[in-house]
Amino acid sequence: MDELGRDTAYPRDLRGYGRRPPDPRWPGGAAVAVSFVLNYEEGGEYTLLNGDDRSEAYLHESSAGALPRLGERAVTVESQFDYGARAGVWRILRLFEERGLPLTVYAVGRALELNPEAGRAFAKGGHEVASHAYRWIDYRAMPEEAEREDIARAVEAVRATTGGAPVGWYTGRVSERTRRLIVEHGGFLYDSDSYADDLPYYVRVADRPHLVIPYALDSNDMKFAMPPGFASAEAFTAYVLGAIEFLIAEGRSGAPRMLSVGLHARLTGRPGRAAALARILDAVAGRPEVWVCRRADIARHWLATHPPE
């Protein structure tokens, strides 16, 4: 047991901040920090073209109940991912650029290699390019040395296409060793492979503090591709704006929080969903209660305002 009565032998922390979370003291006295995240994965998914033994069965328009095709390509699935790289990503970037709002891009290394123009556009627009691993695959059963090599390849892919190394990391389909390996690699301010809180928090990795900025799967357009999910673009808009208003009210009562909004180029890049995103952006742009920020901005603010003990 530690000084707070927590079982230090149990690897999960189910207490967190409890009834009295810290005041994040967001810039400008904002009641909520809103982090928009674009998952750029197109071309990094499972496909025989990347040397895999199967096609991708996850997070596309026909993924509900779909099984991977073993030993063959799923050309129609690949074309849905192609849409994200060819059209969707540019539509989403235009929406943010027109309103002068920043976002964080979870960029898969292989996806950047196949479309380096996108990586250059992310950097030129002032957006944060965090690493989303080298491939958009499940790292759970990958040998440790192979995952270590992929981390290095992912960092180099971001550096080669944007001119700078990533300071944030999100694998998504992690192994139990992922966090330890990225800390061993070094250079990261934070990772987001957690959904455990509404605020950043520290964990100890290799006997030193490491910052975690939790992500979210509910306020996320992935629900368009997973049942039960958002049945309409209006449902997505209502859910996200409802969450923001609720968190603003909590912030005004003395408990400011953070909200992550997840986007995918092949999903919200489609016109009907892009219209829903536009309504969300218009509702938060210029609103003093809302700090729209990159995750690297959150990390630097938290490290300065609430440094690890």
Which CATH number do you get for residue 36?
Answer: 3.20.20.370
Domain assignment present for residue 190? The answer is: yes
Across 59-68, 142-151, 223-232, which has the greatest mean pLDDT?
142-151
Residue 68, both tokens:
């991977």
Q: Are 170 and 106 in contact (CB under 8 A)?
A: yes
Q: Which amino acid is at 154?
A: A
9-23, 64-78, 220-234: segment of lowest average pLDDT: 64-78
Model confidence at 3: pLDDT above 70: no
> Is the torsion defined by CA of 37, 306, 126, 212 positive or negative?
negative
Model confidence at 63: pLDDT above 80: no
Percent of the chain with pLDDT over 90: 85
**What's the total number of domains in the chain?**
1
Residue 263, both tokens:
């986007």
Q: What is the mean pLDDT of the chain?
A: 94
Domain assignment present for residue 14? The answer is: no
Mean pLDDT of the region 229-255: 95
Domain assignment present for residue 20? The answer is: no
What is the rounded distance in angstroms from the CA atom of residue 95 to the CA atom of residue 71?
39
Parallel/antiparallel/unpaired status of strands 190-191 and 208-212:
parallel
Domain assignment present for residue 218? The answer is: yes
What is the rounded distance in angstroms from the CA atom of residue 146 to the CA atom of residue 134?
11
- Please calculate the CA angle 234-240-243 and round it to the nearest 5 degrees: 135
pLDDT digits (tens, 9 = 90+) for 107-163: 999 999 999 999 999 999 999 999 999 999 999 999 999 999 999 999 999 999 999
Residues 6 or more apart from 9 whose CB is under 8 A from it? none
> Is the torsion defined by CA of 62, 66, 68, 70 positive or negative?
negative
Tracing tokens 């895999």 back to the chain, one arrives at 52
Q: Which amino acid is at 14?
A: L
* Residue range(s) defining the domain that contains residue 97: 32-305
Residues 6 or more apart from 130 whose CB is under 8 A from it? 104, 105, 106, 107, 166, 167, 168, 169, 170, 192, 295, 296
More confident residue, 169 or 11: 169
Model confidence at 7: pLDDT above 80: no
Strand extents, DSSP E, 176-299: 190-191, 201-205, 208-212, 257-264, 290-292
99-113, 118-132, 215-229, 278-292: segment of lowest average pLDDT: 215-229
Backbone conformation region of residue 119, classed left if phi is above 0, alpha if psi is from -120 to 50, else beta: alpha
pLDDT at 65: 67
pLDDT digits (tens, 9 = 90+) for 188-205: 999 999 999 999 999 999
Domain assignment present for residue 22? The answer is: no
Mean pLDDT of the region 235-239: 97
pLDDT at 4: 53
CA distances from 271 to 27, 45, 76, 166 (A): 33, 23, 19, 30
pLDDT at 226: 84
pLDDT at 2: 56
Domain assignment present for residue 283? The answer is: yes
pLDDT at 235: 96
- The DSSP secondary-structure symbol of 223 reads G
pLDDT at 8: 66
Nearest to 186, CA basis, from 167, 158, 161, 202: 167
44-48, 83-87, 210-214: segment of lowest average pLDDT: 44-48
Q: Which pLDDT band holds residue 5 (cuts at 50, 70, 90)?
A: low
Q: Which amino acid is at 60?
A: H
